[in-house]
């Protein structure tokens, strides 16, 4: 019999932003399936409630709770952390998966308002959250933080330039947090998805010809699916990754090899 405690998350509390659909929902389910109690969070409470109910039905009552939060507002993030403490206790795992992209086009044309929203929501909110949950992890001498970046961080784009800039900034944020929090036993890593069939990325794949071309240049010959991210979430949250920090881990079917 193989010992599976390496991936056992029993007793752990995991807070995930952007977890009411797509990759975030899949990651939350994966964590719950391995014993964690998960917090489902996104802007709309009804969507969070629906996902939490599905996870509780699948993994057992009390496996998930739902707390709505708009990551763009610091007071809502603080409420998210405070309510998690109230309902579940100290936080062991944070996955900052929420992100925005309100502009599609050249960075020469992006309005200041759209630029600010992208950088503040995709980067600053993750720093805010890390600062809010770090005391829990410091007190325990352990913890895992993961931030969803993108393979878009590794190159330019004529239509997603500012989004890609924000995702490269997320990797820089991860490295700095890993450096500063490592001596306290906290691991911090970035998850870098390739093109995944989610609603968020629908404009990039919802066209038969575009999808065909994307499949052709992907070594594994298919686009990503949300469930492809369950494993990386469990790995980073568990002791299986106990000596991994400050890394940008690509989950992309082989389109970006480092």
DSSP code per residue over 175-236: HHHHHHHGGGTEEEEEEEE-SB-SSTTHHHH-SHHHHHHHHHTSTTSS-B-GGGGHHHHHHH
Task: Choose the catalytic residue: 73, 104, 115, 163.
Answer: 163
pLDDT at 128 over 90: yes
Mean pLDDT of all residues belonging to the chain: 94
The answer to whether residues 144 and 187 touch, using CB atoms and an 8 Å cutoff, is yes
The pLDDT of residue 18 is: 97
- 1 — pLDDT class (breaks 50, 70, 90): low
Helix axes 230-237, 22-33, angle to 10 degrees: 50
The pLDDT of residue 209 is: 76
The pLDDT of residue 186 is: 98
pLDDT at 2 over 80: no
Catalytic residue list contains 73:
no
Mean of pLDDT values over 83-100 = 97
Pick from 127, 130, 140: which is nearest to 11 by CA?
140
pLDDT at 244 over 70: yes
Mean of pLDDT values over 228-255 = 97
Within a 13 Å sphere around the CA of 70, how many CA atoms are in the beta-carbon half?
Answer: 6
Pick from 10, 5, 66: which is nearest to 33 by CA?
10
pLDDT at 185 over 70: yes
pLDDT at 199 over 80: no
Least confident of 35-39, 178-182, 198-202: 198-202
pLDDT at 205 over 60: no
| Distance, CA of 166 to CA of 120 (rounded, Å) | 9
Rg (CA), the chain: 18
- The pLDDT tens digits of the residues spanning 25-44 come to 999 999 999 999 999 999 99
Residue 220, token pair as written in the block: 């594994």
Q: Report which of residues 85 and 206 the model is more confident about.
A: 85
Question: What 3-state DSSP class applies to 11?
Answer: coil
- 135 — pLDDT class (breaks 50, 70, 90): very high
Question: Which domains are seen in the chain, by residue range?
Answer: 5-195+227-250 (3.40.50.720)
Mean of pLDDT values over 108-128 = 98
The b/e string for 28-40 (b: 16+ C-beta within 10 A; e otherwise) is bbbbbbbbbbbbb
Taking the CB of residue 103, how many other CB atoms lie within 10 A of it?
20
- The pLDDT tens digits of the residues spanning 143-163 come to 999 999 999 999 999 999 999
Residues 6+ apart with CB under 8 A from 175: 246
């Amino acid at each position: 019999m193989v010992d599976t405690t390496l991936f056992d998350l029993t007793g752990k509390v995991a807070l995930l932003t952007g977890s009411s659909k797509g990759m975030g929902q899949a990651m939350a389910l994966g964590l719950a399936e391995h014993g964690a109690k998960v917090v489902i969070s996104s802007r709309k409470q009804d969507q969070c409630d629906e996902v939490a109910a599905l996870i509780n039905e699948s993994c057992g009552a009390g496996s998930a709770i739902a707390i709505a939060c708009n990551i763009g507002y610091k007071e809502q993030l603080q409420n998210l952390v405070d309510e998690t403490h109230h309902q579940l206790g100290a936080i062991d795992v944070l996955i900052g998966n929420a992100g925005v992209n309100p502009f599609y086009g050249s960075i020469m044309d992006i309005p200041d308002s759209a630029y600010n929203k992208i950088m503040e929501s995709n980067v600053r909110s993750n720093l805010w959250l890390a600062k809010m949950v770090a005391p829990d992890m410091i007190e325990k001498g352990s913890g895992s933080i993961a931030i969803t970046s993108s393979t878009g961080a590794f190159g330019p784009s004529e239509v997603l330039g500012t989004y890609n800039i924000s995702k490269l900034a997320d990797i820089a944020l991860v490295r700095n947090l890993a450096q500063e929090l490592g001596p306290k036993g906290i691991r911090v890593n970035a998850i870098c998805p390739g093109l995944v069939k989610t609603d968020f990325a629908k404009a990039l794949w919802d066209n038969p010809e575009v999808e065909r071309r994307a499949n052709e240049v992907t070594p594994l010959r298919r686009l990503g699916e949300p469930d492809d991210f369950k494993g990386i979430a469990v790995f980073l949250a568990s002791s299986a990754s106990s000596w991994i920090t400050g890394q940008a881990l690509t989950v992309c079917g082989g389109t970006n090899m480092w």
